Amino acid sequence: MLDIEKIKAEKSTEELLKFSIINIDKPSGPTSFTVSEFIKNSLNVNKTSHLGTLDPMVSGVLPILVGRACRLSDYFMHRDKEYVGIMRLHEDIQEEALKKEINNFVGKITQLPPVRSRVKREERIREVKKFRIIEKNGKDVLFSTLVQAGTYIRKLIHDLGEKIGGAHMLELRRTKAGMFEEKGLHNLYDFEDAVKEYKQGNDSKLRDMLVPAEIISSLIPVAFIKQESLKKCLTGSPIFSSFLEKKDPYNKDDKIVVFLKNQFVGCYRVVNEGEVIAVPEFVFN
């Protein structure tokens, strides 16, 4: 297990800004892209990207990848999401009856993306892992739900409404996106303040916000290479069996992340072709 705090402590703030993540508390109003661009321009870095688009009026967890961490987007992206929201019922029904209908939406469901979505408009299967009522006050219902990535919550509420006489979403907040949760969130005001102090020579607040992108090692199996293999790996070589400190079994098409001790080398796809264990998808050179 890699010690992410140790990795962070060994890097300068400038090094972190080349390969890190900031867990931003997106406010209601701006688009996810606008928030990402604001982070990029404030830090004066070449690139940022966000993990999982939130509608403008939705708030909450919006991890922003900074610098070359953007290349890790696909590895972080396709993870479960958790939300808390308020829906308004068009007709008041008893809580027990509502719970019964909600339970029908737990498990595999078929969704047609909304007209205004950016994805191809065709039915697709998504899994709702949890969907429960927290509190009901007349026609307003506070709910929480844990869903597979790519599930549209507004559409989920609309489809539920079709079974109970109508419902629409009033408010929504994302409380979890994969491994990123509300704990450790930073709002834009605190971020602005941290950047201002950083530019004045005090980097402590900004460093607190920067999560080393090496944290990808907590999601994907880690393989360690020998020192003498590093140069070949950094120039794009596949991972040969002889490169590895330890030869763990990997299944074909699995993803692995490769390190030399605490140094991130890259992300690889397992091929298991003779002595070739894996081929590079992203190398940090």
What are the C-alpha distances in Å from 277 to residues 67, 192, 233, 236, 268? 28, 45, 13, 14, 9
pLDDT at 61 over 90: yes
pLDDT, position 118: 67
pLDDT at 121 over 80: no
Spans of all domains in the chain: 4-77+180-215, 81-177, 220-283
Give residue for tokens 């704990």.
183
For 81-177, the fitting CATH number among 2.40.110.10, 3.40.50.300, 3.40.47.10, 3.30.70.3190 is 3.30.70.3190
The share of the chain scoring above pLDDT 70, in percent, equals 98
pLDDT at 110 over 70: yes
For 4-77+180-215, the fitting CATH number among 3.10.310.70, 3.30.530.20, 1.20.1260.10, 3.30.2350.10 is 3.30.2350.10
Average pLDDT of the segment spanning 50-67: 96
The share of the chain scoring above pLDDT 90, in percent, equals 92
pLDDT, position 114: 77
**pLDDT band at residue 112 under the 50/70/90 scheme:** confident
Average pLDDT of the segment spanning 158-173: 96
User: What's the chain's average pLDDT?
Assistant: 95
**pLDDT band at residue 120 under the 50/70/90 scheme:** confident
- Confirm whether 25 is a catalytic residue: no
Q: At what angle do helices 95-103 and 153-164 cross, to 10 degrees?
A: 120
Q: What is the pLDDT of residues 240-266, one digit of tens each?
A: 999 999 888 899 999 999 999 999 999
pLDDT at 108 over 70: yes
Q: What is the pLDDT of residues 192-229, one digit of tens each?
A: 999 999 999 999 999 999 999 999 999 999 999 999 99
Which numeric CATH code is attached to 220-283? 2.30.130.10
Please give the full DSSP string across 161-174, using - where no structure is assigned: HHHHT-EEEEEEEE
Q: What is the pLDDT of residues 27-57, one digit of tens each?
A: 999 999 999 999 999 999 999 999 989 999 9
Q: What is the pLDDT of residues 16-29, one digit of tens each?
A: 999 999 999 999 99
pLDDT, position 214: 97
Q: Which of 3, 25, 55, 190 is catalytic?
A: 55
Nearest to 23 by CA among 214, 232, 176: 176
Contact 82, 145 (CB under 8 A): yes
| Between residues 41 and 184, the one the model is more confident about | 41
What are the C-alpha distances in Å from 178 to residues 74, 82, 209, 257? 12, 9, 18, 18
Q: Are strands 255-260 and 19-26 parallel, antiparallel or unpaired?
A: unpaired
The answer for residues whose C-beta is within 8 angstroms of residue 273's C-beta and 6 or more apart is none
Q: Measure the CA–CA gap between 111 and 285, rounded to whole angstroms.
A: 41
pLDDT, position 247: 83
**pLDDT band at residue 113 under the 50/70/90 scheme:** confident
